Structure 1
Amino acid sequence: MADGDRIVAYDDLGTADLHIDRIYAGKTLNGRSLDPVSRIFGVGVQGGIRFKGSAVGNSVQLVVLYSTGDSPDWRDQLDSQTGILTYYGDNKEPGGSLLETHLRGNIALHHAFKAGRGSEQDRQNVPPFFYFERVQKKGSLVRFRGLAVPGAEAMTSEEELSAPWWSRDGKRFQNYCARFTILDAPTVSRSWIAGLVSGAPSLSAGCPDAWRQWVENRTYRALVAPSTDLAREIEGQIPTDAVGIEFLETIRRHFAGGANFQEFAHAVWQFMAPGTERQAVTRGGHYGRSYLGGKYLIGPEGGTIALGFVLDADTGHAGKPIADVSRLFSSLRHREFGVFVTLSYFAESVYHEVRADSHQVALVCGRDVVETLRREGFGDVLSVQAWLDSRFPRDTD
């Protein structure tokens, strides 16, 4: 929690508006912890997907998405620079089906995303989603991160709500990976929330303009907040959990055995940028080094634009930064962009060089690699190793 954060007391939650990034507090009464989210919306206190109404009956009035940040396998993520929220469903253990979860959160997601791609009448039945993050492990403090709607501009239905297979200890299961847009609604009025809780339509008095635009026209007016930081902190470039660190060590050991790390980097980039053509071409570069070149496709069928890119990669060493990517800069041709992938992290000087000279280069660090693999369903080291062995066999010569 940062100094200067404004905190709304529990006793004031019944009348308080919601403001972006403001903190809302619970309290302890007679030894019992009182949950702020439940107080604001009248929802339950369990699970990450909490709703008012019936998911099975498709009559949900509102949904709270709550992220604790506890599980390294399920890293809900809000990209403040694009307004895109990635949130995982509630089927997180082997043995259960995708929709038959204990709290029925995945059913609520299923109905909302389906209606979100329907008519205006269908969207009127989509419940507003309110995204909160836990502030700290001790105490009942939550931060409101925004009003969300299912999907995002220019995403396909499969990209908006996918159900990849995951594995844990060799056991497989499906879970949702849902993508929302945080709307440009800096303040959400208490009167609108009270109406939703009592069963009023989402377009009733007090609804934010951005919400109304989405319901009526499916217009995504995202809350976009470009970063003023020229460089990412080291702590933001490497995993903070033991399993994530083990992912990187496993990958590094595998490619120390002779497999082609550039091919792995290309596969990771394909996960991150699905418009990337599957086939990459090796081409020569300066200093006797070879790179992978390819095309990134954007636009509708029949009117697709192909952007050329060049990819370089270096596993790097644990605890040591990548300090020089100038070879990649020099290999770029006119109208091409670059991608550099590492299992380590980038020195601050690299970020400054990229930004100062306006190089069109995507810098993919170790944490990006780990989070990308997790989003693709790799839940443990065993599944990562099995994929590496089958897709990128070691050179045995």
Structure 2
Amino acid sequence: MDQRRTGEECEEAKGGRPGAMTDENLDTVDLLVDQVYGGSRNGNSSDDPLPKLLNVDNGAGFRHLGQRPEVKTLKLLVLKTSFSDVNWPDALNSENGTFVYYGDNRIPGDLHQTPRQGNLMLRNLFDEAHQRQQSPTFPPILLFGNTGVYRDVRFIGLAVPGAAGMGADDDLVAVWRTSGDGVRFQNYKATFTILDVPVVSRAWVKDIQAGKAICSIHAPKPWLDWVGGRKFTPLKSAPVSVIRSKQQQRPQTPELAAYAQLIYEFYKEDSYAFERCAMELARLFMPAIQTWEITRPWRDGGRDALGTYRIGHGAGAIDVDFAMEAKCYGMNNAVGIKPLSRLISRLRHRQFGILVTTSYLDLQAYQELVQDAHPVVVISSSGDIATKLKERFGSLDNVRIWLQKI
């Protein structure tokens, strides 16, 4: 019998959902990017598929084979994210192949003194990665995410510490948070690269478990290239369509909708005040914005703000002018062709536009924007604003504090 049965067969055998691999032979299957792996349906920790899949324990986010926390004694590291903790918003960027993962410290004190030594392992992994030389031993890092169905997990990919263009001061940073009783503490924010390895073979997994990850003939080349020369080969996934539908622009979950709704409620009675917020939102997405000013409401000329965006670094950099239009609309009230055309018509030569809205861009307007290749950046309510706010500030309370400061 084929041990990797179809999703429908697994559904019938285990009561799982279609597409989830839930057969009893998880210890024999390959790991496929975005494949779902499910366990039993007992409603307790025994449902966790990772012990069967990789011979790791059924603990929290950090799982390992070998002796922790030293790099040289670790055979394998498995990181699992829930994607649901608003204070620690782990995030996958499919377009550039990076993954942001937060450590396991949740209380005041030494950020390295955690029960599972997760932050200590992160520090050691990134310290080794920054050596920029071949590692005689290095544990493969496998990322998984919860699906929300029992304890099923989705394989995110084979990861390595850091990313192209990021240095030792950027890829692993200690961020501050405040506990429920108002005490400040630190935790790690780590950036990984998902390598262009669509399948992690079971043959390599067995060699990893035997402590032969690097010398295995089954080791994937992108991973060996990184281990041997710190070469990043990310798994990039371009969007299928650049014309985003209403559903693609709006919040995908009630949790994300709360972030977009918070912005709207805060500014719905004062659209002029929202223009300053819109500029701050634009700066979150486009940190290279250099100078900017809000135009006077009675003399804006179809532009709510003007500014410059820097391209390049140092003496060789250039500044490009931009104009911004801000629309504080309810999530069911689309931005149509008229305000978009108003912005486009005011753009001068070699100037680009930024449209920021708490709603979404109407389909016809989006089609015109893309088909005519107008140089306008669209920042809309959900896939953009809500996700960025959750990633940057965590909780809704932190967002409120940020809005009050604006």
TM-score bracket for the superposition, by shorter chain length: 0.7 to 0.9
Within the alignment, does 1:20 sit opposite 2:23 as a pair?
no
Supply the distance in 1 between the matched residues of 2:31 and 2:322 (Cα, whole angstroms): 43
Give the Å deviation of 1:35: 2.3
Paired position in structure 1 for 2:324: 311
Q: Report 1:130-141 matches (<5 A).
A: 130-138=142-150, 140-141=151-152
The corresponding residue for 2:359 is: 344
Does the aligned pair in 1 maintain the 2:175–2:186 contact within 8 Å? yes
TM-score using structure 2 length: 0.82
Going from structure 1 to structure 2, the CA distance change for 1:303 and 1:60 (only over 3 Å counts) comes to farther
Change (3 A) 1:257 1:29: closer
Q: 2:303·2:323 contact (CA, 8 Å) conserved in 1?
A: no
Contact between 2:134 and 2:229, CA under 8 Å: does it hold in 1? no
Q: Is the CA contact 2:250–2:331 (under 8 Å) kept in the aligned structure 1?
A: no
| Residue 144 to residue 30, structure 1, CA distance change in 2 (3 Å) | closer
Give the alignment of 1:1-397 within 5 angstroms.
Answer: 6-27=19-40, 33-58=46-71, 59-91=73-105, 93-95=106-108, 97-122=110-135, 125-138=137-150, 140-167=151-178, 169=180, 171=182, 172-240=184-252, 244-256=256-268, 258=270, 260-277=273-290, 279-282=291-294, 288-324=301-337, 325-367=340-382, 368-381=384-397, 383-390=398-405, 392=406
Alpha-carbon RMSD: 3.2
Q: More deviation in 200-209 or 142-151?
A: 200-209
- Given that residues 282 and 291 in structure 1 are in contact (C-alpha distance below 8 angstroms), is that contact kept between their aligned partners in structure 2? yes
User: Offset at 1:223?
Assistant: 1.4
- TM-score if structure 1 supplies the norm length? 0.84
Judge conservation of contact 1:166–1:377 (CA < 8 Å) in 2: no
The equivalent of 2:13 in structure 1 is none
The alpha-carbon deviation at position 126 of structure 1 amounts to 4.2
Q: Relative to 1, partners in 2 of residues 1:249 and 1:33: Cα closer, same or farther, differing over 3 Å? A: same
Q: How far off is 1:182 after superposition?
A: 1.4
- Change in CA separation of 1:127 and 1:260 when aligned onto 2, cut-off 3 Å: farther
Shift of 1:272: 2.3
Contact 1:168 1:379 in 2 (8 A): no
Kept in 1, the 8 Å contact 2:195–2:235? The answer is yes
Residue identity matched to 1:50? R
Query: Residues 336 and 37 from structure 1, CA distance in 2 versus in 1: closer, same or farther, beyond 3 angstroms?
Result: farther
Q: In structure 2, give the amino acid aligned to 1:369.
A: I
Question: Closer, same or farther in 2 for the Cα pair 1:32/1:126, shift >3 Å?
Answer: closer
Query: Counterparts of 1:215 and 1:49 in 2: how far apart (Å)?
Result: 21
Q: Secondary structure at the match of 2:153?
A: strand
Is the CA contact 1:167–1:380 (under 8 Å) kept in the aligned structure 2?
no
**Is the 8 Å Cα contact of residues 303 and 343 (structure 2) preserved in structure 1?**
no
Describe the SS at the equivalent of 2:114: coil
Name the aligned partner's letter for residue 343 of structure 1. T
1:250 deviation in Å?
A: 3.5
Gapped runs of 5+ residues in structure 2?
1-6, 10-17
| Distance of aligned partners of 1:262 and 1:30 in 2 relative to their CA distance in 1, 3 Å threshold | closer
SS in 1 for 2:46: strand
Deviation at 1:26, TM superposition (A): 1.5
Q: 1:221 to 1:388 in 2, by over 3 A?
A: same
CA distance in 2, matches of 1:369, 1:168: 25
- Residues 55/133 of structure 1: CA separation in 2 closer, same or farther (3 Å cut): same
Q: Quote how far apart the aligned CAs of 1:150 are.
A: 1.8
8 Å Cα contact 1:230-1:352 kept in structure 2: no
Percent same amino acid among aligned pairs? 30
Q: How far has the Cα of 1:360 moved from its partner?
A: 3.1
